């Protein structure tokens, strides 16, 4: 079993920055593909960013709405994945969820993930 715990959410003004963290339990964290999703009230959960790799390359994927503003990264020594969010907009307001897949390839759809965190609220004021 893998447990994921997100932190770092909060209230920020438009144009500001936040860094979300997702701490994972489990000795095989380094082999998991990891993703961030978000869900706003009344909307479906949507993909934000993902990081996956093989022995050759690390691959990053981003939703078009966050490209150039958000950066996903991971620190395997700390069993943690991060989401650096810059130039935040009111439309970024949502609960942000961290997710892990036992496969090394992290997809852009929620169904591709095996484990989920409890979520952390991000609110961007205008």
pLDDT digits 0-9 by tens, 20-58: 999 998 777 778 899 999 999 999 999 999 998 766 778
Question: Mean of the per-residue pLDDT values for the chain?
Answer: 93
pLDDT digits 0-9 by tens, 62-89: 999 999 999 999 988 899 999 999 999 9
HEC string for the chain: CCCEEEECCEEEECCCCEEEEEEECCCCHHHCEEEEEEECCCCCCEEEEEEEECCCCEEEEECCCCCCCEEEEEEHHHCEEEEEECCCCHHHCEEEEEEEECCCCCCCCHHHCCEECCCEEEEEEC
């Amino acid at each position: 079993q893998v447990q994921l715990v997100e932190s770092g959410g909060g209230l920020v003004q438009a144009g500001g920055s936040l860094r979300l963290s997702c701490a994972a339990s489990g000795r095989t964290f380094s082999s998991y593909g990891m993703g961030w999703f978000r869900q706003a009230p009344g909307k479906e959960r949507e993909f934000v960013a993902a990081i996956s790799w093989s022995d050759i390359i690390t691959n990053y994927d981003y939703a078009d709405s966050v490209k150039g503003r958000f950066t996903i990264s991971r620190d395997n020594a700390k069993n943690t994945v991060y989401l650096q969010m810059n130039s935040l907009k009111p439309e970024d307001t949502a609960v942000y969820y961290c997710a892990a897949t036992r496969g090394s390839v992290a997809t852009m759809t929620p169904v591709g993930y095996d484990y989920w965190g409890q979520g952390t609220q991000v609110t961007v004021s205008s």
